[in-house]
Amino acid sequence: MALLKISNLHAKVNDKEVIKGLNIEINYGEVHTVMGPNGAGKTTLANLIMGNPKYEITAGEILFDGKNIIGMPVNERAQLGIFQSFQYPEEIPGVTVRNFLKLAYDTIHPNEKMSIFDFGDMLIKMSDQLKIDRSFLDRYINVGFSGGERKKSEILQLNILKPKLAVLDETDSGLDIDALKVVAEGINNVIGPDIGILLITHYQRILDYVKPHFVHVFIDGKIVKTGGPEVAKELEIEGYESFVV
Ligand SMILES: Nc1ncnc2c1ncn2[C@@H]1O[C@H](COP(=O)(O)OP(=O)(O)OP(=O)(O)O)[C@@H](O)[C@H]1O
Ligand SMILES: [Mg+2]
């Protein structure tokens, strides 16, 4: 059974149809990349998978582990193991990275009952690996973080929470060369048989480090072509023009 299966999805925002018959299937162990022009609906797709209530689904199905999740609130989806990293991660004043992650971890993995000390050790190990200064753990989420620091913090969350499905929206944008490698390493860390990954990006360069099994071309609310990594290379050379009808 597919981890995520989206069939003939149509969705509106503010009465404007943004998703127009989208199909995608992601299995455990797979890395899928979605590439497409600005405004095509990629972030909308990410938000629909996570359950952002701003969007109105007018047709289609979203099955997660075989279960229809349309209408399910965001927190329940997170508990099921769906994770979204945001194109523009928001500040959450008053909530430290450490406290947020402990709460989220306990919610997603209720049977593990990890002690606060073991959890702290895990956080430190992962922060060091991602070259995130340990002091960030006790800062409020994203408050005063630079663009790149926000993206690294999202990858820290991904590594700690160990979701079943990770939807990563432009996690590679705005990163310097070293940070890009660190973020790619953070994604590669979690790739494995227990997770499926949907990586939204504009740039082929992240794919020099993270190897996708499938690359989807996303134009005007739907996927118009699917292939292997060679598709990203073609796009880099030819752009989207030949796909726009
Ligand atoms: N809350 C909203 N209110 C109004 N329009 C919206 C809203 N959210 C999305 N849209 C519109 O839906 C379309 C798709 O937006 P979306 O953010 O999904 O694009 P994208 O593919 O992620 O683009 P980018 O590559 O620039 O991030 C755009 O035309 C956008 O203006
Ligand atoms: Mg976007």
**CATH number for 40:** 3.40.50.300
Atom of ligand 1 nearest to the CA of 45: 18
15 lines ligand 1 (CB under 6 A): no
Q: For the chain, how many structural domains are there in total?
A: 1
38 lines ligand 1 (CB under 6 A): yes
14 lines ligand 1 (CB under 6 A): yes
User: Cβ(164)–Cβ(3) under 8 Å?
Assistant: yes
* Tokens 């973020």 found at: 183
User: In the prediction, which pLDDT does 57 show?
Assistant: 97
173 lines ligand 1 (CB under 6 A): no
pLDDT tens for the chain, residues 1 to 245: 899 999 999 999 999 999 999 999 999 999 999 999 999 999 999 999 999 999 999 999 999 999 999 999 999 999 999 999 998 899 999 999 999 999 999 999 989 888 999 999 999 999 999 999 999 999 999 999 999 999 999 999 999 999 999 999 999 999 999 999 999 999 999 999 999 999 999 999 999 999 999 999 999 999 999 999 999 999 989 999 887 76
87 lines ligand 1 (CB under 6 A): yes
* Tokens 């953070």 found at: 186
User: In the prediction, which pLDDT does 245 show?
Assistant: 63
For residue 200, give its domain range: 4-243
Which residue, 59, 56, 64, is CA-closest to 5? 64
Closest ligand, as measured to the CA of 42? 1
User: Quick one: DSSP state of residue 88?
Assistant: S
State the Cα angle at 210 between 208 and 31, rounded to 5°.
135
- Partner residues linked to 223 by β-bridges: 218
Closest ligand, as measured to the CA of 85? 2
Atom of ligand 1 nearest to the CA of 41: 18
CA dist 75 and 83 (Å) reads 10
User: Cβ(221)–Cβ(48) under 8 Å?
Assistant: no
**CA-derived radius of gyration, the chain:** 18
What distance in angstroms lies between residue 20's CA and the mean position of ligand 1's atoms? 13
Structure tokens at 175: 């990163």
